[in-house]
Chain A
Amino acid sequence: MRRWSFIRLALGLVAVAVIPPLGLLVVLASCQPQPGRPWFWLSGGLTVLGAALGAVVVAWCYYRQVERQVDTLIDHCHALALGGSGTIRDWPLGLDQLSRLGMAIQVLREALVDYLSLYRRFFEAAPDMFLSLSPAGGRILDANQAFCQAVGRLKSEVLGQPVDRFVTLEQGWGAVLAGREGLHKGQIATDRGIMKIEANISLERGPEDQPWILGAILRDVTQQEELHRELIRKSTALEKALEEIKDVEELKDQFLTTLSHELKTPLVALKGFLQLLRQGQAQGEQAQEYLDICWRNLTKLERQINNLLDLARLSHAKEQFEMGPVELDTVVRTEAENLRPVAAEKQVRMELALPPHPVVVRGNAEKLVQLVDNLLMNAIKYNEEGGSVRVVLREEGGQVQLEVSDSGVGMAREQMAKIFNRFYRAEVSGSGRLEGLGIGLSLVQEIVRLHGGDIRVESQPGVGTTFTVTLEARS
């Protein structure tokens, strides 16, 4: 292009330089040219024509050069508009105004390129994933590094692809592309698993309000959601713990009430009858009767206090218990005999099924007596008038099983989960009197644990309950 313009300029100069001298030569050749002679007019005419022709050629060449340089600048501006960043190659050289215009465009270009690269850096370095999408088909027009890394693809593999190949939205891309801007939840399948995302979608419109480009900022919320779930899990656990604390508090209140009642009640009878005896208001048989009442209540009190103290000692394991061979069948027989009056008072029948030979376990005699006593007492207490208590003792495969069944009120499943809780006392329907601190079964459990044994309970409401204690037989 540049070479041709020089040739055209040279031809113009030749025309200007050659044609007027040619006319002058014709004039000189006609010797003494005089006005009015033909040679004179011919030579004059040729000179003017040559000059005019030369001027036209020069003007045309100049015009063409300006047109070319303007075209170059326009082409360059178009290239810039389309995102090109190359410099102007055919730089306007000779024409000062155009050269300055070109320089201004160049400066503008540099500034735009600077801005562009600045935003590009933000775009690429952002930790969030940026996408620009075509509003018609949802194809990816541009994507930053964060997005390419998340999907594990090169940018060239991502551009031009439909966005739903990589990103799934809960509401589907159809609704979003139809113009539902705003925050959407979704996910991206990555090499490391599913990434939960939050997509902020905005639709950019063109100058005539036509959908131009869809911008999507995707944020990884996997950790956030995990935290959220963890928070919910912990707050649920806390709520449960709070409920349990409330239950324990309630149980504690109930226990204090029970304790107060159970300890004070025998004391009331003791105090009252002792006072009568002290004041000499009873003689002979009546005095003996009062003394019997006092003794009974004293024993009751002693039993409650012992249970309470034993439970405290056993739970803190502060005491070492002497272990030795204990004949469990004898313990059962003796305790059943001791409790027979209590059972008789409630009209409860007691049946024993004991093996003919001694059943020996290794344990603490006193604690095993307490265990059997509490189990039998419970079976009588929660029984109905006219009911029965059956005690079975058997030895099998190096293990001893003690089974205590009652034909009492029985328990529902949720109640069974609580019976070993300290201070828990089962609700009893009917009008039976319920004594005790609610620590009997808790104590039984502690004693079984102390002996390395196991206790289980089976019950059916309205049918009865069976407690089975398994202990190691003495080898």
Chain B
Amino acid sequence: MNPMVNHPLVLVVEDDPDTAALYRTLLTAEGMEVACCGNGQQARQWWQAAARPPDLVVIDVRLPDISGLDLAREMSAPRDESSPAVIVLSAHGDPRMPQMSRQAGAAAFLDKLRDLDRLVETAWRLVRSRGVRA
């Protein structure tokens, strides 16, 4: 089996430290390697310095310095094998958000609270489909 699928690298971009800690706990428990950034700028810097690109990026749509959708667009492009799958998370409740996220290149959109239980499952699904492609 592909080692990348066994220990996928996940970048979490979330400004609330407790929520970020929760995502880290949930994903680490699944054997994923997790890096957390509190804003867009930190995420970009992490990407530049990272030894390998992440397999999955989990982005909160509301970030203090940049729109999460813009960051999703940036991180999901170029759309080839090296670009990670992106999950956009939001607490907005805006009905247009799923479509806007897809347009920004996200592979999935989840409501932060309602879909919390689906985060791990969605993360695995996206990582695996990417692993199969790789």
Contacts and interface: CB of A to CB of B under 8 A. Distances in A.
Interface string A296-313: 110000000000000000
B112 A433 contact: no
A293 B112 contact: no
Contacts of A261: 62, 91-92
A285 B25 CA distance: 15
B80 interface: no
Given A273-B22, A281-B29, A268 B38 contact: no
Lowest 3 CB-CB distances: which A-B pairs, in order?
A: A264-B91, A269-B18, A272-B22
Given A257-B94, A276-B25, A431-B38, A265 B64 contact: no
Secondary structure type dominating chain A contacts: helix
A289 to B, nearest CB: 9
Contacts of B93: 260
A271 B19 CA distance: 10
A267 interface: yes
17 contacts: A257-B92, A257-B94, A261-B92, A265-B19, A265-B91, A265-B112, A268-B112, A269-B21, A272-B22, A273-B18, A273-B25, A293-B21, A431-B39, A431-B42, A431-B64, A431-B65, A432-B64
A264 B94 contact: no
Nearest to B42: A431
B26 interface: yes
A434 interface: yes
Q: How large is the interface on B (under 10, 10 to 19, 20 to 34, 35 or more residues)?
A: 20 to 34
Contacts of B94: 257
A264 B94 CA distance: 13
Nearest to A294: B18
A280 interface: no
A397 interface: no
A257 B92 CA distance: 6
Interface of B: 15-16, 18-19, 21-22, 25-26, 29, 38-39, 41-42, 62, 64-65, 91-94, 112-113, 116
B116 A268 contact: yes
A432 B65 CA distance: 8
Most buried by A among B25, B64, B116: B25
A207 interface: no
Given A260-B93, A261-B91, A268 B22 contact: yes
A230 B124 CA distance: 67
A430 interface: yes
Given A264-B112, A267-B113, A272-B26, A297 B92 contact: no
Contacts of B39: 431, 433
A421 B39 CA distance: 28
A433 B38 contact: yes
A260 B60 CA distance: 14
A432 B42 CA distance: 12
Contact of B41 (A272, A428, A431): A431
Q: How large is the interface on A (under 10, 10 to 19, 20 to 34, 35 or more residues)?
A: 20 to 34
Nearest to A271: B116
A68 B37 CA distance: 125
A431 B65 CA distance: 5
Contacts of B113: 264, 267-268, 271
A288 to B, nearest CB: 14
Contacts of A281: 29
Contacts of B42: 431
Most buried by A among B41, B42, B93: B93
Contacts of A267: 113
Contacts of A260: 91-93
A447 to B, nearest CB: 28
Contacts of A428: 64
Contact of B18 (A297, A431, A432): A297
Contacts of B26: 272, 276
Contacts of A266: 18
Given A293-B18, A431-B42, A272 B64 contact: no
Nearest to B89: A268
Most buried by A among B18, B62, B91: B18
Contact of A268 (B19, B29, B41, B62): B19
Contacts of A264: 91, 112-113
Contact of A430 (B15, B18, B65, B92): B65
Nearest to A286: B25
Contacts of A434: 64
B64 A268 contact: no
B91 A268 contact: yes
A268 B29 CA distance: 18
A274 to B, nearest CB: 10
